[in-house]
Amino acid sequence: MSGRRGHTRVRFSNTKGMLRISRDVVVKRTTQREYVAVSGQPGVPGEVLTVAFVQGGDRQSEVVQIVASRPVVVDGVVKHELQLSRLDARGSEQK
């Protein structure tokens, strides 16, 4: 077929770096070091994220790790419930 590409559209020459993707999620604290988030996208257990909380104009960030991700239905729409565990500054789980 004419008009089809015969070459790649994107090429990454430097693959080292960090990609930040912001998503709006609903987060609820379940214990002092654990949260549950409801997202439109699934999570990967073991993935480390930074969650930014905005409350009353103040912003606070927490480094968390996804413990589990499972689909849930919210208002007739499939969402994903992410279990999150807070990490300390060194990236290890807080006790």
pLDDT in tens, 40-74: 999 999 999 988 888 788 888 899 999 999 999 99
Task: Let me know if residue 78 belongs to a domain.
Answer: yes
Is residue 45 in some structural domain?
yes
The total of structural domains in the chain comes to: 1
Tell me whether residue 20 is in a domain.
Answer: no
pTM: 0.69
- pLDDT recorded at residue 87: 94
Structural domain includes residue 61: yes
8 domain residue, yes or no = no
- Of the candidates 41, 81, 84, which has an alpha carbon nearest to the alpha carbon of residue 62? 84
DSSP string, 14-46: ---S--------EEEEEETTEEEEEESS---TT
Residue 92, domain member (yes or no): no
**Domain contains 72:** yes
- pLDDT tens figures, 14-44: 667 666 777 778 889 899 899 999 999 999 9
DSSP conformational letter for 94: -
Which residue range forms the structural domain that includes residue 31? Answer: 26-86
